[in-house]
């Protein structure tokens, strides 16, 4: 999440961060790790399988392949590109699972993709840079919150918590903050919420630099004193649940809220591998891969009950 010159960043990384954060993160990851793997890889792989299954059934005549990769860690994007090319793939659609664009996330995926194609002919590809306002994304988020409608009607406050970025990046023109606000505004509008029923905050800050505000944990601590003692939290920037949602929000931030006088706290799960998330991914693929063919005719309506 930090864009700094290597001459500045590497001393900070090796001199401070790698000497302090790994021990803490190892403990945190041990709290959420599954029997065989971490949730972010497991859920992302499940989402990929469900999308692939849809296209196998709806477009059996197409020779389409679907893969999931990690920007950092395994399966690495470079190895997945090599595997795809071994499978005969020559054209690619890259979908970073970051709905809101940030140079440090979506931009980093693009950099990794370019690096993965180094020393070879760059294959034809399309790259989706954001989908923060896509109707199916807003619909999926709205549906995930609607099950809590009675609580919202009764006065529960809805907090949209997005991963933060340094203010310096936002000030330099990164559109991330405005896209987060727009996502939240559209979901709140779809839910019929008034301005005082929802708010936006930014989580996961580290280091001494100024980051986007308000900070999620500061909001958690301040809410009870303002009468917001019943809280519902959703993290729309996280496509699948991970350390920052399972441990940071559901444990650390919940504890801070309750310790400050909060009474009820609930977390809305990420879209994960749900039918609505599959429908969103299907729409993104169809819009980009079948753009010419879909022009002038009604797209096939997804039959998500087949999953």
With respect to residue 1, please indicate whether it lies within any of the assigned structural domains: no
Please list the pLDDT of the chain residue by residue as tens digits (307 residues): 556 555 555 565 556 555 554 554 444 444 444 555 779 999 999 999 999 999 999 999 999 999 999 999 999 999 999 999 999 999 999 999 999 999 999 999 999 999 999 877 889 999 999 999 999 999 999 999 999 999 999 999 999 999 999 999 999 999 999 999 999 999 999 999 999 999 999 999 988 899 999 999 999 999 999 999 999 999 999 999 999 999 999 999 999 999 999 999 999 999 999 999 999 999 999 998 887 565 555 555 556 555 5
Rounded to whole angstroms, the Cα distance separating 48 from 61 reads 19
With respect to residue 300, please indicate whether it lies within any of the assigned structural domains: yes
pTM (two decimals): 0.86
Strand partners, 265: 231
Rounded to whole angstroms, the Cα distance separating 152 from 276 reads 22
Identify whether residues 81 and 66 lie together within a single domain.
yes
**Lookup: tokens for 141:** 């988020």
Identify whether residues 127 and 140 lie together within a single domain.
no
Identify whether residues 293 and 179 lie together within a single domain.
no
With respect to residue 86, please indicate whether it lies within any of the assigned structural domains: yes
Q: Which helix (H) or strand (E) holds 181?
A: helix 176-191
Number of other residues whose CB lies within 10 A of the CB of residue 242: 20
CATH code for the domain in which residue 254 is found = 3.40.50.1400
The total number of structural domains in the chain stands at: 2
Identify whether residues 168 and 237 lie together within a single domain.
yes
- Structural domain for 291, as ranges: 6-131+274-306
Rounded to whole angstroms, the Cα distance separating 231 from 130 reads 28
Identify whether residues 245 and 289 lie together within a single domain.
no
Q: How far is CA 72 from the centre of its chain?
A: 15
């Amino acid at each position: 999440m930090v864009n700094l010159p290597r001459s500045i960043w590497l001393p900070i990384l090796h001199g401070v961060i790698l000497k302090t954060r790994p021990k803490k993160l190892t403990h945190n990851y041990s709290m959420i790790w599954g029997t065989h793997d971490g949730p972010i890889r497991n859920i992302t792989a499940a989402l990929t399988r469900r999308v692939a299954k849809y296209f196998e059934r709806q477009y059996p005549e197409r020779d389409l392949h679907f893969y999931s990769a990690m920007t950092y860690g395994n399966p690495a994007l470079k190895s997945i590109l090599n595997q795809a090319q071994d499978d005969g793939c020559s054209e690619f659609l890259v979908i970073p699972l970051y709905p809101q664009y940030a140079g440090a996330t979506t931009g980093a995926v693009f950099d990794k993709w370019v690096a993965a194609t180094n020393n070879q002919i760059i294959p034809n590809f399309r790259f989706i840079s954001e989908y923060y306002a896509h109707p199916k994304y807003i619909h999926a988020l709205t549906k995930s919150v609607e099950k809590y409608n009675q609580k919202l009607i009764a006065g529960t406050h809805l907090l949209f918590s997005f991963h933060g970025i340094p203010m310096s990046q936002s000030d330099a023109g990164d559109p991330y903050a405005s896209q987060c606000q727009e996502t939240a505004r559209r979901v709140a509008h779809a839910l019929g919420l008034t301005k005082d029923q929802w708010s936006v905050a930014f989580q996961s800050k580290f280091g001494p630099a100024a980051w986007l505000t308000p900070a999620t944990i500061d909001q958690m601590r301040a809410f009870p004193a303002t009468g917001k003692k019943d809280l519902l939290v959703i993290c729309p920037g996280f496509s699948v649940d991970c350390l920052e949602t399972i441990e940071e929000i559901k444990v650390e931030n919940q504890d801070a809220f309750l310790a400050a006088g909060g009474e009820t706290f609930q977390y809305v799960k990420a879209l994960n591998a749900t039918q609505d998330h599959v429908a969103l991914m299907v729409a993104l693929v169809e819009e980009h891969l079948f753009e010419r063919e879909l022009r002038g005719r009604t797209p096939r309506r997804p039959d998500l009950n087949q999953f």
